């Protein structure tokens, strides 16, 4: 005969005093976030150690998008590396084009024509604008705010329309050449650009009115992800993250390249270095980029028609009309396409200010037509390294906005 | 390849280099300023002393380790070269420090205790070049996975090499 069933509630309990005194067993929880998490844009894996909802520690695993950028560059000509640089930071590919080509020009000792330099600045600032719009828009999206994301993306579409006019492509621009650019401004570009800038200003104002004073947004950004000025410098942070902590360091001002010394623009800085300061710095940088683009348009109109490529047979091809009618130019074109330029032996490092910070290229040449070493200093990777320091002790939900404003771009971080 | 163009220990008009020549002359091997980049090659064994001096000296103040990478000069001895790019925020100047590392033992002292940013950069160099950083707190691969065989940025690593399939781990 079966024994009488005993219900849990009927089992003898321990005394109430003991119940209160007993230490409840608790342990830290390990949570895996990623590598493909809907609230992180970028393929990255966090292993989060949680005490309740508080982050005790965080391990970041990168490399999911590693394509062997440096190895591929070492097997083609100097020219063949340019399309690879498009795929570093795919939000602002022109900036990587500019950085790489300027580094090669440094080794070659080339000085590009004025018109080319203004065009490069124009294209760079459009790319920076697109990058910041993505960062701020996507940050809102990941904090469940769909509307500002749409405003940001609409503005980015306007920027990409301009990029398409200028380069023929929206994302993979491939616009800059060693010693020049692909071509000058297309017809009607100035008019359409000015019209689009006005539309972007309106969208930015809309974005600002929905987001900047929004209670939810401010609560989630203010005081989260703080990194002090000293820590930023120890961790080699650059770009908006460093400036949000109050260090007015911008490569465009510190070591002016191209024609940035002739342009009137300001470098915004923050105070405490939290996510809200980072957001404000990005918003202000977009306004400054709009100013720079307008100045570039004016200057390019003043400069009129002129060469956009350096007149150097080592790197630029002869005019098509001459190639088809003259033997020497045909041979030169053939050699330039099949072999590519030879870069004198040596080494050089060149840094530009990309949307994420200092984007540097360290090139080593052995005198041949193939790069010996192409090192890209990726701001995304270096900016991501102190993420555990930024979120330790804060809530799990704070990882999302902090990671958004670090703006790690997988293509550039993992190369 | 960078050092062939010049040798000797001129300061190339750089205060940092002049201070370095005064303070640690025995640790320096050669210098050049090709394309305006001040570069010093130092003895690998003294790398920490040189980097510490450049960071702490009042005339240098290189608070930032901008970049750290390596180059494989296959066929030369010593084979590898570790390259440090330093930047001074206060003085707005740069310097490049290089140190040669032999194939065996393929190691150099870490810079992690000077700049925490060296942590990931050294992990990347270990991952791609196989150079060990002595004293590194956590020398794991950074971009590739633990089962990867070899170090792909070495010049004797063929681009087409296939990696063994890694099965599920239980």
Place of tokens 């500002």: A148
Tell me, what's the ipTM? 0.87
CB pair distance less than 8 Å for A372 and B1 = yes
Q: How far is CA A71 from CA A375, B128, B152, in A?
A: 10, 10, 8
Inter-chain residue contact A385 with B85, CB threshold 8 Å: no
A126: closest CA among A146, A103, A102, A97? A97
- CA-nearest residue to A108 within chain B is B35
Judge contact between B150 and B127, C-beta under 8 A: no
Is the CB of residue A136 less than 8 Å from the CB of residue A207?
yes
Q: Report residue A200 CA to chain centroid gap.
A: 20
CB atoms within 10 A of CB A168: 14
Nearest Cα neighbor of A62 from A332, A309, A380 is A380
CB contact at 8 A, A240 and A414 = no
**Residues A283-340: pLDDT tens digits?**
999 999 999 999 999 988 888 888 888 888 788 788 888 888 888 888 888 888 888 8
How far is A233 from chain B, CA to nearest CA, in Å? 6
pLDDT over threshold 50, residue B6: no
Q: Is the pLDDT of residue B3 over 50?
A: no
What's the predicted TM-score (pTM) here?
0.86
Q: What's the CA angle centered on A237, arms A104 and A259, to 5 degrees?
A: 40
Shortest CB distance from A234 goes to which of B67, B71, B117? B117
Residue A47, φ and ψ in degrees, nearest 5: -105, 110
Please identify, in words, the CATH class of the domain defined by A58-414.
mainly alpha
- In three-state secondary structure terms, A321 is helix
Q: Where are the domains of chain B?
A: 2-107
The DSSP secondary structure of A354-404, one letter per residue, reads ETTEEEEEEEEE-SSSS-SEEEEE-HHHHHHTTHHHHHTTSBGGGHHHHHH
Look at chain A and count its residues: 415
Distance (Å, rounded) from C-alpha A357 to C-alpha A134?
Answer: 16
pLDDT tens, residue order, chain A (415 aa): 456 655 555 555 556 666 666 667 778 888 888 788 877 777 888 999 888 888 888 889 998 889 989 999 998 889 889 999 988 888 888 999 999 999 999 998 888 888 899 999 999 999 999 999 998 888 888 888 888 889 989 999 999 999 999 888 888 888 898 888 888 888 888 899 999 999 999 999 999 998 888 888 898 888 888 999 999 999 999 999 999 998 999 999 898 988 999 999 999 999 888 999 999 999 999 999 999 999 999 988 888 888 888 888 788 788 888 888 888 888 888 888 888 888 899 999 999 999 999 999 999 999 888 999 999 999 999 999 999 999 988 998 888 889 988 888 888 888 8
CATH topology of domain B2-107: Beta Polymerase; domain 2 (3.30.460)
Q: Chain B residues with CB-CB distance to A under 8 A?
A: 1-2, 4-5, 34-35, 37, 39, 63-67, 69, 71, 83, 85, 89, 92, 94, 96, 115-117, 119-121, 124, 128, 141-145, 152-153, 157, 159
- Whether omega for the bond prior to residue A35 falls within 30 degrees of 0, making it cis, is yes
* Residue A392 forms contact with B (CB below 8 Å): no
């Amino acid at each position: 005969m079966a024994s009488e069933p005993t219900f849990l509630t009927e089992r003898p309990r321990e005394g109430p005093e003991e119940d209160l005194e007993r230490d409840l067993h608790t342990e830290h929880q390990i949570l895996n976030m990623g590598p493909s998490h809907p609230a992180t844009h970028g393929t990255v894996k966090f292993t989060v150690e949680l005490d309740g909802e508080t982050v005790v520690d965080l391990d970041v695993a990168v490399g999911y998008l590693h394509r062997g950028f440096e190895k591929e560059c070492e097997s083609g000509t100097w020219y063949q590396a340019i399309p690879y640089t498009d795929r570093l930071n795919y939000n602002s590919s022109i900036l990587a084009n500019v950085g790489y080509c300027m580094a090669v020009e440094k080794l070659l000792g080339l000085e590009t024509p004025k018109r080319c330099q203004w065009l490069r600045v124009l294209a760079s600032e459009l790319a920076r604008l697109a990058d910041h719009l993505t960062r701020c828009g996507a940050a809102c999206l990941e904090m469940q705010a769909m509307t500002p994301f749409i405003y940001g993306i609409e503005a980015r579409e306007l920027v990409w329309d301009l990029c398409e006019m200028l380069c023929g492509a929206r994302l993979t621009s491939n616009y800059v050449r060693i010693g020049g650019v692909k071509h000058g401004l297309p017809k009607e570009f100035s008019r359409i650009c000015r019209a689009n800038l006005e539309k972007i200003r309106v969208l930015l104002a809309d974005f600002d009115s929905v987001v900047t004073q929004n209670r939810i947004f401010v609560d989630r950004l203010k005081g989260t992800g703080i990194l002090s000025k000293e820590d930023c410098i120890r961790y080699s942070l650059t770009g908006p993250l460093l400036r949000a902590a109050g260090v007015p360091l911008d490569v465009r001002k510190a070591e002016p390249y191209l024609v940035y010394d002739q342009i009137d623009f300001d470098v915004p800085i923050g105070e405490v270095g939290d996510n809200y300061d980072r957001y404000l710095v990005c918003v202000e940088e977009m306004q400054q980029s709009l100013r720079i683009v307008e100045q570039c348009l004016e200057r390019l109109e003043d400069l009129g028609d002129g060469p956009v490529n350096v007149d150097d047979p080592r790197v630029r091809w002869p005019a098509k009309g001459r190639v088809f009618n003259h033997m020497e130019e045909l041979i030169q074109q053939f050699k330039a396409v099949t072999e590519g330029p030879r870069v004198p032996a040596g080494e050089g490092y060149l840094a530009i200010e990309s949307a994420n910070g200092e984007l540097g290229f360290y090139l080593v040449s052995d005198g041949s037509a193939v790069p010996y070493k192409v090192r890209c200093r990726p701001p995304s990777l270096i900016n991501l390294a102190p993420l555990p320091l930024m979120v330790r002790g804060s809530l799990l939900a704070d990882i999302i906005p902090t990671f958004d404003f670090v703006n790690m771009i997988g293509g550039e971080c993992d190369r | 390849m960078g050092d062939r163009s010049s040798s000797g220990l001129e300061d190339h008009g750089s205060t940092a280099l002049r201070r370095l020549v005064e303070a640690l002359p025995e640790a320096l091997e050669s210098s050049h300023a090709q394309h305006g980049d001040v570069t010093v090659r130092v003895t690998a064994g003294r790398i920490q002393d040189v980097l510490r001096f450049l960071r702490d000296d009042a005339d240098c103040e290189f608070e930032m380790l901008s970049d750290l990478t390596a180059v494989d000069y296959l066929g030369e001895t010593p084979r590898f070269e570790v390259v440090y790019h330093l930047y001074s925020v206060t003085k707005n100047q740069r310097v490049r420090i290089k140190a040669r590392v032999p194939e065996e033992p393929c190691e150099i002292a870490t810079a992690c205790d000077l700049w925490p940013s060296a942590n990931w950069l050294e992990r990347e160099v270990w991952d791609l070049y196989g150079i060990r950083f002595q004293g590194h707190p956590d020398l794991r691969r950074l971009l590739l996975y633990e089962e990867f065989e070899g170090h792909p940025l070495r010049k004797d690593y063929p681009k087409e090499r296939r990696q063994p399939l890694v099965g599920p781990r239980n």
